[in-house]
């Protein structure tokens, strides 16, 4: 069994490269991950199979296993790629702005790649999320959160973003679907009068609610001045 790079080193293949059977560009970790993300975005989690991924890359079905240990690693790498964070170019003023920026960017990334939110809790934390956690941690300390309260504060924020985004994503089906669901609720009639009446499934300002709740949460977690 030859030594495999197994995902760590992704040196680009130098020279012209014999390339793949169908004449496409040669395989590389970057290309594999980029195509995996593409496939996940368009076909969903169940749409990603090693065989389909290889096919899309113009490669033989088993070629991927040279670059990658197994399918789980593909998920980990795609997830980490999608969650990468480069802090804003412009100087943000104040700890609050930088926390909010990071969290909204995180949420945005998960909504742009709807498979990611559901996947994130099931995988180990990759560098992208560790980086975000580190930034969050440092910024909260800078904001005056006591050492003893730090972990609770971090997890509260984390939970808030995860809960809001997962829910929002799951109700982000087509308007027709939502209408149908709400109609089903109405048919069930007397069984669920209150949530039927409030049109719970339809009238929800997700973005506004997110911002508002986040403000409340940060107020609560942070020492009052």
Stretch that binds a second copy, among 25-33, 50-58, 63-71, 183-191 (CB under 8 A): 183-191
Cα–Cα distance for residue pair 78/35, rounded to 1 Å? 9
Nearer to a second copy, 100 or 150 (CB): 150
Stretch that binds a second copy, among 15-23, 76-84, 94-102, 192-200 (CB under 8 A): 192-200
Residues in contact with DNA, shown as a per-residue x/- string from 39 to 68 under the rule CB under 7 A: ---------xxxxx-x----xxxxx-xxx-
72 binds DNA (CB under 7 A): yes
Nearer to DNA, 5 or 213 (CB): 5
Structure token digits, residue 79: 């997830």
Contacted entry of DNA, a second copy, none for residue 11, CB cut-off 5 to 8 Å set by kind: DNA
| Under 8 Å between Cβ of 143 and 219 | no
Cβ count within 10 A of residue 140: 21
User: Which of the residues 115 through 134 are near a second copy (CB under 8 A)?
Assistant: 118, 121-122, 124-125, 130-131, 133-134
192 binds a second copy (CB under 8 A): yes
Stretch that binds DNA, among 14-22, 34-42, 140-148, 149-157 (CB under 7 A): 14-22
Stretch that binds a second copy, among 2-10, 11-19, 76-84, 152-160 (CB under 8 A): 152-160
13 binds DNA (CB under 7 A): yes
Residues in contact with a second copy, shown as a per-residue x/- string from 202 to 221 under the rule CB under 8 A: -xxxx--x--xx--x---x-
Cα–Cα distance for residue pair 206/177, rounded to 1 Å? 17
Cα–Cα distance for residue pair 122/74, rounded to 1 Å? 14
Q: What are phi and psi of 87, to 5 degrees?
A: -55, 160
164 binds a second copy (CB under 8 A): yes
Which residues in this chain contact DNA in the complex, by CB under 7 A? 1-3, 5, 11, 13, 17-21, 26-27, 48-52, 54, 59-63, 65-67, 70-72
């Amino acid at each position: 069994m030859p030594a495999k790079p197994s995902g760590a080193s992704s040196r680009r293949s130098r020279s012209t490269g014999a390339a793949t059977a169908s004449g496409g560009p040669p395989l590389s970790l970057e290309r594999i991950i980029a195509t995996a993300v593409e496939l996940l975005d368009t076909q969903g989690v169940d749409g990603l199979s090693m065989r389909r991924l290889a096919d899309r890359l113009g490669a033989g079905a088993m070629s991927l296993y040279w670059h990658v240990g197994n399918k789980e690693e593909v998920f980990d790498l795609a997830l980490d790629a999608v969650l990468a964070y480069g802090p804003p170019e412009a100087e943000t003023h104040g700890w609050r702005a930088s926390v909010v920026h990071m969290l909204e960017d995180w949420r945005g990334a998960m909504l742009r790649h709807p498979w990611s939110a559901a996947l994130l809790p099931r995988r180990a934390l990759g560098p992208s999320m560790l980086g975000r956690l580190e930034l969050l941690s440092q910024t909260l300390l800078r904001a005056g959160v006591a050492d003893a309260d730090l972990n609770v504060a971090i997890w509260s924020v984390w939970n808030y973003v995860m809960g809001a985004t997962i829910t929002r994503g799951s109700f982000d089906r087509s308007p027709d679907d939502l209408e149908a669901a709400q109609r089903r609720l109405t048919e069930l009639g007397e069984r669920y009068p209150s949530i039927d009446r409030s049109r719970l499934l339809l009238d929800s300002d997700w973005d506004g609610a997110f911002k508002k709740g986040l403000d409340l949460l940060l107020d609560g977690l942070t020492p009052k001045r």
